[in-house]
Homo-oligomer: A and B are copies of this chain.
Amino acid sequence: MIPVRMMRKMVWERSMNKLSRGLSSSQIRKPRSPSLVSLDLIDEWSSTFTRSHSHPIQKSTANNDTARIIDGRSAAEEIKSSIAIEVSRMKESIGKVPGLAVILVGQRRDSLAYVRNKIMACHEVGFRFSIAELPESCTEDAVCDALSNYNKDASIHGILVQLPLPQSLEQHFDEGKILNVLSLEKDVDGFHPLNIGNLAIQGREPLFIPCTAKGCIELLLSSDVEIVGKRAVVIGRSNIVGLPTFLLLQCGQCLQRHHATVSIVHAYSENPEIITREADILVAAAGVPNLVRGSWLKPGAVVLDVGINPIEDPESEHGYRLIGDVCFEEAVRIASAVTPVPGGVGPMTVAMLLLNTLEAAKRALCFT
């Protein structure tokens, strides 16, 4: 069992076996019935959206073929292979490897699953990994102390606080205050307001681009999807997905200028179905299972499904399965390309986290 009443630091030494010292085997298994909240979703979507939109499915204008499946898993594998090569080069050249640290407060089962994925990914590419586990009952200061320690740790180049932080009547964590402590140079999630400001302002460059948004753009580019001038709709306006994805699609960064015409649809939007149907490119990040039906899609649209929603399924091995925000079975008959859940945007998010950490390490170690 995790000693929940004290903070503990665990260093990943490139062996998954050592993980069991930090997380018991039951904890590192996939969660049986995790909470439905997997993104930082502030919006509450009307339940009418999720109920009555089972209109007849439109046929694709092009032909009766089903959509191309955008394979995020294989794209992520390719990126991880490149990262692993870079890590080897770094190790041989200067004897150091990138280091990623995660601060985990409490034991949300979905958070544990996400952390496990990150540990595995770090292992695959040869990163050092460290975790600070704090009990749900810890103070805000304890989280800030853990962050400060990692800020000072020269072997750690990227730090993230696993969100969401536990919130209850008794315990409230001020995410803003906590993120302010995080060193900008190690903010590999890219959530610091100065980083978001630099992402938003044309002519400025953020140190890091938030991982899911970056992963979505990479999937579009690697799938040769034309973005310039096209209409894009982002469903959901969360700080970690919707907002940065909007910013990237609209302007892009550095040498990648995307110039889409972007609209954000959210829980207060009137006629979300009609607006979504205008999209050449759709990014669904509402956190609502099967929110987007076939009737919401423009024939031939490219659909990126960011949602990872566990739903009960007695027939599944763990009693649940993961589905996206998009009704996949209907989408494949309307869209020209679509990401599956799981195996779409999710693996790319982790790959982008590794890429950001590699960049941070290169910058810190002046390694080119």
Give chain A's interface residues, CB within 8 Å of chain B.
Answer: 42, 175-176, 192-198, 200-204, 228-231, 237-239, 243, 247, 250-251, 259, 261-266, 268-270, 272, 275
With A266-B259, A266-B261 as given contacts, are A204 and B193 in contact (CB-CB < 8 Å)? yes
Contact between A261 and B265 (Cβ–Cβ < 8 Å)? yes
How far, in angstroms, from A128 to B203 measured CA to CA in the complex? Answer: 33
- A197: contacting residue among B194, B202, B251, B275, CB under 8 A: B194
Closest 8 CB pairs of A and B: A197-B197, A193-B197, A259-B268, A263-B263, A196-B197, A261-B269, A229-B270, A229-B268
List 14 additional contacts besides A202-B237, A259-B268; criterion CB under 8 Å: A42-B203, A193-B200, A196-B196, A196-B200, A197-B198, A200-B200, A201-B243, A228-B268, A229-B269, A229-B270, A231-B275, A250-B264, A250-B266, A261-B263
**A176 neighbours in B (Cβ, 8 Å):** 201, 203-204
Contact between A250 and B229 (Cβ–Cβ < 8 Å)? no
How far, in angstroms, from A231 to B268 measured CA to CA in the complex? Answer: 11
How far, in angstroms, from A291 to B187 measured CA to CA in the complex? Answer: 42
**A-B CB contact pairs (8 Å), 7 listed:** A42-B203, A193-B194, A202-B238, A230-B270, A231-B270, A237-B250, A261-B266
With A196-B197, A201-B196 as given contacts, are A261 and B259 in contact (CB-CB < 8 Å)? no
Contact between A264 and B265 (Cβ–Cβ < 8 Å)? no
**A198 neighbours in B (Cβ, 8 Å):** 193, 197
Each complex incorporates copies of this chain amounting to: 2
**A194 neighbours in B (Cβ, 8 Å):** 193-194, 197
A31 to chain B, nearest CB (A): 26
Contact between A251 and B231 (Cβ–Cβ < 8 Å)? no
How far, in angstroms, from A269 to B204 measured CA to CA in the complex? Answer: 22
How far, in angstroms, from A320 to B252 measured CA to CA in the complex? Answer: 38
How far, in angstroms, from A268 to B261 measured CA to CA in the complex? Answer: 8
Interface centre among A228, A269, A275 (most CB of B within 10 A): A269
Q: Nearest CB to that of A263 among chain B residues?
A: B263
How far, in angstroms, from A250 to B238 measured CA to CA in the complex? Answer: 12
**A269 neighbours in B (Cβ, 8 Å):** 229, 261
How far, in angstroms, from A264 to B246 measured CA to CA in the complex? Answer: 10
**A266 neighbours in B (Cβ, 8 Å):** 250, 259, 261
How far, in angstroms, from A263 to B270 measured CA to CA in the complex? Answer: 14
A208 to chain B, nearest CB (A): 13
How far, in angstroms, from A270 to B176 measured CA to CA in the complex? Answer: 38
Q: Nearest CB to that of A42 among chain B residues?
A: B202
A227 to chain B, nearest CB (A): 10
Contact between B192 and A197 (Cβ–Cβ < 8 Å)? yes
How far, in angstroms, from A42 to B257 measured CA to CA in the complex? Answer: 13
Q: Nearest CB to that of A280 among chain B residues?
A: B270
Contact between B197 and A243 (Cβ–Cβ < 8 Å)? no
**A228 neighbours in B (Cβ, 8 Å):** 268
- A243: contacting residue among B200, B230, B238, CB under 8 A: B200
Q: Nearest CB to that of A206 among chain B residues?
A: B193
How far, in angstroms, from A231 to B272 measured CA to CA in the complex? Answer: 10
How far, in angstroms, from A203 to B200 measured CA to CA in the complex? Answer: 17
How far, in angstroms, from A264 to B251 measured CA to CA in the complex? Answer: 11
A209 to chain B, nearest CB (A): 14
A281 to chain B, nearest CB (A): 12
How far, in angstroms, from A197 to B269 measured CA to CA in the complex? Answer: 23
How far, in angstroms, from A266 to B250 measured CA to CA in the complex? Answer: 9
